[in-house]
Structure 1
């Protein structure tokens, strides 16, 4: 072959029985432009035989041609090898080797063009029995194709061996054919691109229209949601204001009712006292009815106050060790006469052994009084039976009656405030709701089971609880401010052994004078006093002195801004040593926190 040296194909970098890592396909030698055409054709044929697509075949042939022309113009001869490297990934390699020119070589436009057509172009100086420069073009096979097998490589090698030089005219025709094919491919791709662009533009118009529609719908929805939230906020504010107004109404009415009711009860007791003028049997009976009605009304007033406190979170249990038998004895003594008068048997089955229970005894008394009183009210004949048992660290009390019963559709509604089942008379509709609220405050619950015409069973479950840690009261100088002497004496007795010194004031002005002359460590201040009331004193006391307010009025519910000045509040009507001790501790700690200590 003119201008070309043909060698026998061989494998390199492989041992006996090993799969070759590098397989030489054929060698060429470039001395003139016709040799460049032959090498170009060899590059394309090798790429075709290895499974490259038409465009990659053209790229490989063109890259080989560009580097060959550049080198031929600078140095001759140039040795060319075509190889297949199988490790690490199958790659077609075209290697150009030539003697290194003096001063080195600068890569030209041909090398740069080849770099855009193949995966990599490498150029290095080597010393293989003489210094030479080697340029390697690499084109990796497609990843989805397997590595060529030995038979395939033999076929490629044979195909390149049969390759003959071609004339410049034939090479030009081949290149023109490739160019025409490439132009046709570009035209087809351009037409496809036009179609895709049109489809994309149509899709974009549809997406834009859908986006605008969705945006409008979303904006409309957002406006509706904002309006709904505003309406909900308004409703919530109205409900909050309504709840506060109801609580204030209950508190004010209850406080206003308590004083005349207590007066009625007191007058009735005076009339019934044996030292008063004797009454006829009828008069004595009527006065007893007045006293009983007054006690009932006072109980309702207290329930309303407790409802108001519970709604604002101010009704806090005061746990203590409690014997349910003692509580039931007290309730039986209160309600037994009413049961006997109605001709109903009140049977309270007490457990033989004491039941250990830690709970608020006052709240437990009110719960049982409401449950048993409610059962007696709606039982005209038969009995009301109370059983007590301890089950799994719980106190379980069953109150069963043989009364009218409750229809299934009303059994849940009886726990709503002021609800009364149709056909019943008497009561306020607060008994069961009040008992349920107190039971939940104590960590328990109520359950009701009833059959219309046969009776009702209400079950109270309370946790046994743990004995509370009792904090002993140890305080210095305590000033008691109360216009009632009995109240001052009661407080002095409760402070016995706990306060180092106790002083008293019967009015607001006297209290302020004592504070100025001899500042106390704690002030126990009654809210309701004639002339100068507790609010007047509270507003003028130095902020560093802890104040315990003695009242059942919640100043926050009444909207009084002076409520924040009181460090603690305790109900004067339900005052005991533990309650007073807890209130004094709270007041002292609150005052220290305010001062930043």
Structure 2
């Protein structure tokens, strides 16, 4: 109930900030966004704490390869906007003995460090805040040192207890350090602090030092383009619906929005194929999870992505893993929304166009656009049913049928300039039982064409 109106506030402010005609109000819009994000932080703290108090069973910790230096530097960079105009120097000091890649949970590590940096900024009026990293035997240490007001020794032993505030004048929920300490323990480490009043404080996160052997997944930090992607948004809240459609439209997606499950089923029956459907969990006629079960049965090739203001804990993810490719939490910034969609839909990392535009332009000049339109109709009639044949053949492990269908699809896609789809079909022809299926890329290419 709090997340949904927050999405309306933050989303509307972001869309208004993109309007050049409102440049004079940019500071006011920034104030709205900052206040909304502060409220969201408080809400998340309360939710995290409630999960921890419930026995920690809903606190999920991943274990994956991470790059410590970029993780720490980007976390500090995110905080730099809060220092503008203040006499505070932010810096990193990462020792040479810190390995290039370690195993850990990047989201939880960032959450702890962000909280420590936020506290340092709250209690430091001038001077420095340094984010350090080094190793100590079998441990990886991350320290946040500040030149702030420090903590009274009588309170230092209590600061990791819930709802304890060092100073009521400085604000905060009194939950951040409690949550950070419990997260450190969940990751096999600990959080400690030293402090001297009027000199400053140093908080130290100690984690097991485990050098990664697998490569760190590469991410592309750029705007995501969803050009030609047809999406179905199933969302009953009018404001959330409008904001999400505008966000996705600015990224190039084509969005059809409906307000309930019945409208969603009718739209799917009477419209062109969609690459994915974003499904809200709280719909007025039936709940989103029940609808998802129905969609999986009726439209097995349609990618379903949860879109919810509920608490997205490990229990919910496990319960819905067979239905949804992933769950996007509300509120979500536009850039993150696009990046999550690109991730869940496995779009090309370089956001390349699905079509060979130069080939299509040449064909249009030689034969006219009407001829290409005829080819597209034939493709939908004769080539798209091959996707169902591939699904059936995969289920029965019939590699020869998959090879034949993939070969036909490869030729048809190539004729229509569907470059990425044709490449996937060629890969499927070579590896019929293990290669990724081309269904989503073909749907995307048809929509783009």
TM-score (norm 2): 0.54
Instruction: Find the aligned partners of 1:268 and 1:515 in 2 and give their Cα distance.
Output: 32
SS at match of 1:307: helix
CA shift for structure 1 position 567: 5.3
Instruction: Show the counterpart of 1:381.
Output: 126
1:262 and 2:4 are equivalent in the alignment: no
Conserved 8 A contact 2:281-2:306? no
For 2:34, which of 270, 276, 292 is the aligned residue? 292
1:333 and 2:77 are equivalent in the alignment: yes
Cα root mean square deviation, aligned: 4.7
| Count of matched residue positions in the alignment of Structure 1 and Structure 2 | 301
SS at match of 2:20: coil
1:553 and 2:310 are equivalent in the alignment: yes
SS at match of 2:192: strand
CA shift for structure 1 position 381: 2.3
CA shift for structure 1 position 374: 0.4
Instruction: Find the aligned partners of 2:187 and 2:343 in 1 and give their Cα distance.
Output: 18
Instruction: Show the counterpart of 2:355.
Output: none
1:572 and 2:316 are equivalent in the alignment: no
Cα distance change of structure 1 residues 302 and 378 upon mapping to structure 2, 3 Å threshold: same
Conserved 8 A contact 2:305-2:327? no
Partner deviation per Cα, 1:327-380 (whole Å, 9 max, x = no partner): 222222222232243322222213457532222222221111110110111112
CA shift for structure 1 position 529: 5.8
Instruction: Show the counterpart of 1:461.
Output: 206
1:365 and 2:110 are equivalent in the alignment: yes
Instruction: Find the aligned partners of 1:453 and 1:301 in 2 and give their Cα distance.
Output: 31
Conserved 8 A contact 2:133-2:143? yes
SS at match of 2:173: coil
Conserved 8 A contact 2:17-2:29? yes
Instruction: Show the counterpart of 2:87.
Output: 343
Instruction: Find the aligned partners of 2:309 and 2:263 in 1 and give their Cα distance.
Output: 23
For 2:57, which of 309, 313, 325 is the aligned residue? 313
Instruction: Show the counterpart of 1:449.
Output: 194
Conserved 8 A contact 1:552-1:571? no
Instruction: Show the counterpart of 1:526.
Output: 279
5+ residue gaps, structure 2, are 217-230, 235-240, 249-255, 271-275, 330-335, 347-449
Conserved 8 A contact 1:322-1:361? yes
SS at match of 2:195: strand
CA shift for structure 1 position 423: 5.7
CA shift for structure 1 position 402: 1.6
Cα distance change of structure 1 residues 550 and 343 upon mapping to structure 2, 3 Å threshold: same
CA shift for structure 1 position 516: 11
Partner deviation per Cα, 1:372-393 (whole Å, 9 max, x = no partner): 1101111122211221112334
For 1:414, which of 159, 175, 184 is the aligned residue? 159
Conserved 8 A contact 1:527-1:533? no
Conserved 8 A contact 1:405-1:451? yes
Conserved 8 A contact 2:129-2:145? yes
SS at match of 1:415: coil
Partner deviation per Cα, 1:57-108 (whole Å, 9 max, x = no partner): xxxxxxxxxxxxxxxxxxxxxxxxxxxxxxxxxxxxxxxxxxxxxxxxxxxx
Cα distance change of structure 1 residues 461 and 567 upon mapping to structure 2, 3 Å threshold: same
Larger mean CA deviation between 349-358 and 378-387 belongs to 349-358
SS at match of 1:288: helix
Conserved 8 A contact 1:508-1:536? no
Instruction: Find the aligned partners of 1:272 and 1:551 in 2 and give their Cα distance.
Output: 24
Instruction: Find the aligned partners of 2:314 and 2:94 in 1 and give their Cα distance.
Output: 41
CA shift for structure 1 position 481: 7.0
Instruction: Find the aligned partners of 2:142 and 2:122 in 1 and give their Cα distance.
Output: 19
Cα distance change of structure 1 residues 540 and 387 upon mapping to structure 2, 3 Å threshold: closer
Cα distance change of structure 1 residues 374 and 446 upon mapping to structure 2, 3 Å threshold: same
Q: Between the two structures, name the one with larger relative contact order (CA 8 Å, sep ≥ 6).
A: 2
Cα distance change of structure 1 residues 556 and 512 upon mapping to structure 2, 3 Å threshold: farther
Instruction: Find the aligned partners of 1:271 and 1:265 in 2 and give their Cα distance.
Output: 10
CA shift for structure 1 position 552: 5.5
CA shift for structure 1 position 579: 8.0
CA shift for structure 1 position 578: 8.0
CA shift for structure 1 position 428: 1.6
Partner deviation per Cα, 1:10-34 (whole Å, 9 max, x = no partner): xxxxxxxxxxxxxxxxxxxxxxxxx
Cα distance change of structure 1 residues 529 and 416 upon mapping to structure 2, 3 Å threshold: same
Instruction: Show the counterpart of 2:290.
Output: 537
5+ residue gaps, structure 1, are 1-255, 471-479, 491-503, 518-522, 582-597
Cα distance change of structure 1 residues 576 and 481 upon mapping to structure 2, 3 Å threshold: closer
SS at match of 2:206: strand
Instruction: Show the counterpart of 1:6.
Output: none
SS at match of 1:418: coil
Instruction: Find the aligned partners of 2:30 and 2:8 in 1 and give their Cα distance.
Output: 15
Conserved 8 A contact 1:548-1:567? no
CA shift for structure 1 position 482: 4.1
